Amino acid sequence: MKYVIITPARNEEAFIENTIKSVILQTVKPVRWIIVSDGSTDNTDGIVKKYENRYKWIKLIRMNDHPDRQFAAKVHCFNAGYKKINCLNYDLIGNLDADVTFDCQFFEYLIKRFKEIPDLGVAGTTFLENGKLIYDYNHADFNHVSGACQIFRKKCFENIGGYIPIKGGGIDWVAVTTARMKGWKTKTFNEKSFIHHRVMGTANRGLLKTRFLYGQKDYYLGGHPLWEIFRGMYQMAKKPYVLGGLNLIAGYFYSSLLRIERPVSPELICFHRKEQMQRLRKIVLGKIMSRV
């Protein structure tokens, strides 16, 4: 199976060279890798050009500079790269962040999973930050695929209409959840992991503000309030202790009071809440059974 990659990047000179080296060393290389510089003001473009001159399958695109780092900008960058691959023959399309690294068989492994599972629409792997798995997969959902590295079957990506630009974030989550809603399987595989070199969601903010914004995002993506309370309680046991979980819950209910507009369809919200309640029942029943 042939694959292409698109990487939106803004001011990633500290990380992008190692990401490039990881892709170059893959046992199965992409047909094309489009790296889209989102008005970078550091040496991101210079680093990419160095490798673009050596490898014909690496291409750099530069977007116009802008001062605002919105999540929607990632979609605009991705779509600019997407236009450049229309004429190519491929089976899989990857969205890859510019601050990750992985072993040389990473993409070969994921390609095999797509071959084995005909209705697999989106796939990825677990990942580490600061040397630790970012999620506790005793509770985390293996059906979700992290936005740092998402690989779509081409037909699935076309079926969901690609990425939807959402200013506050949740773009990757909407794509994966929409795929499941439309009948595709989505899966995070744990036999392999990649390394994420920047803590998620903290590019321009601290952890407490990040938790509050995550709570806001949980609301406008249609999360169930009961699920949010349990999620906040779970986060209280993690750094920043107690305050992180409280900020998560506060962000959710603050947004609820303000009735912040939700950029997703009622159909997707209904599907999402149904999944959350199924998972919550499974977790609670599992805790009860473990004590019996």
pLDDT, tens digit (0-9, with 9 covering 90-100), for 77-102:
999 999 999 999 999 999 999 999 99
User: What confidence score (pLDDT) does residue 201 get?
Assistant: 54
CA atoms within 13 A on the CB side of 97: 23
Whether this model's pTM surpasses 0.75: yes
| Range with the poorest average pLDDT among 15-19, 142-146, 201-205 | 201-205
Q: Where are the domains of the chain?
A: 3-196, 207-291
User: What confidence score (pLDDT) does residue 287 get?
Assistant: 78
Q: Is residue 56 predicted with pLDDT exceeding 60?
A: yes
Q: Is residue 289 predicted with pLDDT exceeding 80?
A: no
User: What confidence score (pLDDT) does residue 200 get?
Assistant: 64
CA 42 from chain centre, in angstroms, equals 24
Q: Give the whole-number percent of the chain exceeding pLDDT 90.
A: 84
User: What confidence score (pLDDT) does residue 286 get?
Assistant: 81
Structure tokens at 20: 């490039």
Position 96, amino acid: L
Structure tokens at 205: 């903010």
Angle of CA points 104, 39, 52, to nearest 5°: 40
Q: What is the mean pLDDT of the chain?
A: 93
User: What confidence score (pLDDT) does residue 133 get?
Assistant: 83
Q: Is residue 203 predicted with pLDDT exceeding 60?
A: no
Range 3-196 classified under CATH 3.90.550.10: yes
User: What confidence score (pLDDT) does residue 279 get?
Assistant: 93
| DSSP sequence for 117-144 | -TTEEEEEEEEEETTEESS-TTTS-TT-
Q: Is residue 26 predicted with pLDDT exceeding 90?
A: yes
Q: Is residue 127 predicted with pLDDT exceeding 80?
A: yes
| CA dist., res. 202 & res. 88, Å (int) | 35
Query: Bridge-partner residues for 68, per DSSP?
Result: none
Model confidence over 224-278: pLDDT tens digits? 999 999 999 999 998 899 999 999 999 999 999 999 999 999 999 999 999 999 9
